Amino acid sequence: MQVRSKLGQLIYNISANLLLMKERFLAVVLVAFIVIGAATAMPPSERGELQDRSSATFLDVVSIRDAVDAMPKADLDENETEGILYMREEEKLARDAYRVFWDRYGLAVFENITDAEETHMDSVKVLMDKYELEDPILEAGKFANHDLQALYDDLVKQGNSSVEEALRVGAVIEETDIQALLVRLADTDNDDIGLVYESLMRGSRNHLRAFANNLERRGIEYTPQALSQEEFDQIVGSSVERGPYQS
């Protein structure tokens, strides 16, 4: 009788544990269905804006500074120096243009990425501080580099014609940034410069995804201007990237 009683208790305990596990499993499944249902029920515009926010890539400037300062300080050649100065203003071009479009159209993607571009500018400034380079930054909309000034003026004029053109301009800027960074990376073997440029390029790919997403939602066909069609398709067809030195 005592053995049978212990056996019965054991069977009861096992059954109770199985029941508890089943209840927990069903609870997890229910939560998953609720989350999926909420995402499905969310209006397309809100889902798109959520994607835009996740694409805005903010860099952790403090972490980048710590990493850059810990690396050896090598002599810069003319191409490396010119590259750092150029990228400082190129990131400013993006920030200034998106700020103009945010003020004009109130589209969230411009607000989100404007703030992110500020951290990109600050990340290049880390290199300038380390190598004691004079900062070329002028007031908003003004550039020491004449080519960038002309590009900015043309792109802002185009973007001010309509919100659709502003989104096209956003994609062009990010393409141009990616292409410029690829060239600058090929011109240096300094690990600290490479670290900053790789971080900037990851951010630009994410920002390109955000603008491509906005254009697609509006049924606008976009043809890449600086990248090949294959490079463009590969970027926008892949997920938002996350990496080191992002906040």
pLDDT, position 54: 72
Distance set, CA 79 to CA 84, 103, 126 (Å)? 9, 36, 18
Domain presence at residue 245: no
Residue 238: predicted pLDDT: 96
What is the structure's pLDDT at 48? 58
Is residue 247 in some structural domain?
A: no
What CATH number does the domain containing 198 carry? 1.20.1260.10
Is residue 243 situated within a structural domain? Answer: no
Q: Using CA atoms, how far apart are residues 233 and 205, in angstroms rounded to an integer? A: 11
Q: Is 27 in the same domain as 69? A: no
Q: Which pTM was predicted? A: 0.81
Does a structural domain hold residue 246? no
> 12 and 50: one domain?
no
Sign of CA dihedral 188, 193, 195, 201: negative
Question: Which residues, at least 6 apart from 225, have a Cβ–Cβ distance to it below 8 Å?
Answer: 172, 175, 176
Q: Report H helices in 42-77.
A: 44-55, 61-69
Classify residue 244: in a domain, yes or no: no
pLDDT per residue of the chain (247 residues) written in tens, 0 to 9: 444 455 455 445 545 554 545 555 444 333 334 334 444 444 555 555 666 677 899 999 999 999 999 999 999 999 999 999 999 999 999 999 999 999 999 999 999 999 999 999 999 999 999 999 999 999 999 999 999 999 999 999 999 999 999 999 999 999 999 999 999 999 999 999 999 999 999 999 999 999 999 999 999 999 999 999 999 999 999 999 999 999 8
Q: Are residues 24 and 88 in the same domain?
A: no
Which residues neighbour 216 within 8 Å (Cβ) at sequence distance 6 or greater? none
* 105 and 213 inside one domain: yes
Number of folded domains in the chain? 2
Give pLDDT, residue 34: 35
Do residues 9 and 97 share a domain?
no
**48, 25: one domain:** no
Does 119 share its domain with 77? yes
Q: Domain range for residue 182?
A: 44-236
Asked if residue 49 and residue 9 are part of one domain, the reply reads: no
Q: Are residues 33 and 54 in the same domain?
A: no
The verdict on residue 30 lying in a domain is: yes
DSSP annotation of 134 reads P
Residue 15 belongs to a domain: yes
Query: Do 135 and 159 share a structural domain?
Result: yes
Q: Does one domain contain both 35 and 49?
A: no
Q: Is residue 133 part of a domain?
A: yes
pLDDT of residue 13: 55
Do the beta carbons of residue 117 and residue 95 sit within 8 Å?
A: yes
Residues 21, 87, single domain; the answer is no
